[in-house]
Structure 1
């Protein structure tokens, strides 16, 4: 059985998230998703929704077998515990595959790092970014 791990913030789920998780699930037999803790999100605005709420929504998706909240200090701790065969990165996630592979090797973890495919908009104006969704909401609400 091939165990795949996907990870992300997953704030305000959108079709891009669904595409990523379906793609990750197709890489193996079991998909576990690690939802980033709010306090660990430093590369962009912190999520609006609470850790547990984001985890619960991700866990409800059909492609996902299990979802957990990430470790408070060490993002590799859940990976060591779960010992996956594949880590599936989102198409546009900021992570460096080589740096992840190096850290996995340093920790003695035999795990392949793959990138999910890009999600193309299904129609004109489809929003595939949480940040763009939030911007659109603010824009629409400011007109009211």
Structure 2
């Protein structure tokens, strides 16, 4: 059984996340095990924005997704620590993740981590295909008082 590792923030889950995880798992073949590593809140804040959903709740939701076998929170100091611990056969990089695959492969070699790195080419295009787009839509929507009555 091959172990495939997928990584990401997974804040405000949308169909793009589902497609990425489905395609990542397929990379390992029929009986692959999909392990997902979620970015810590501190990492999200430093690289993207303030997360909407806490790291523990994001992990809990990702664990519920059909393709996922296990989920972990990543390291706040060394993103390769969890890779060394899990020893995946394949690391699946999402189509919108800003990793240079050659640089990533070199770093893995330097650390004696023998994982294949593959970018998932499929991307689910839709009006709300990113957490940022979802946040912007919420911010720009004129809600009536009725919408917030029970909030």
Question: TM-score, normalising length from structure 2?
Answer: 0.88
Residue 77, structure 1, aligned to residue 71, structure 2: no
**Structure 1 stretches of 5 or more lacking a match?**
none
Q: Provide the residue aligned with 1:8 in structure 2.
A: 8
Root-mean-square deviation (CA, aligned residues, Å) is: 1.2
Bigger CA radius of gyration:
2
Question: TM-score, normalising length from structure 1?
Answer: 0.92
Give the drift of 1:76.
Answer: 0.4
Give the drift of 1:126.
Answer: 3.1
Residue 39, structure 1, aligned to residue 42, structure 2: yes
| C-alpha distance after superposition, 1:107-132 (max 9, x if no partner) | 101111001122243xxx63111000
Q: How does 1:1-144 map to 2 (within 5 A)?
A: 1-28=1-28, 29-41=32-44, 42-121=46-125, 126-140=127-141, 142=142, 144=144
| TM superposition outliers: structure 1 runs of 4+ over 4 Å | none
Q: Classify the secondary structure of the residue corresponding to 2:24.
A: helix
Contact 2:128 2:134 in 1 (8 A): yes
Q: Classify the secondary structure of the residue corresponding to 1:64.
A: coil
Distance 1:56 1:93 in 2: 22
**Structure 2 stretches of 5 or more lacking a match?**
145-151
Q: Classify the secondary structure of the residue corresponding to 1:114.
A: strand
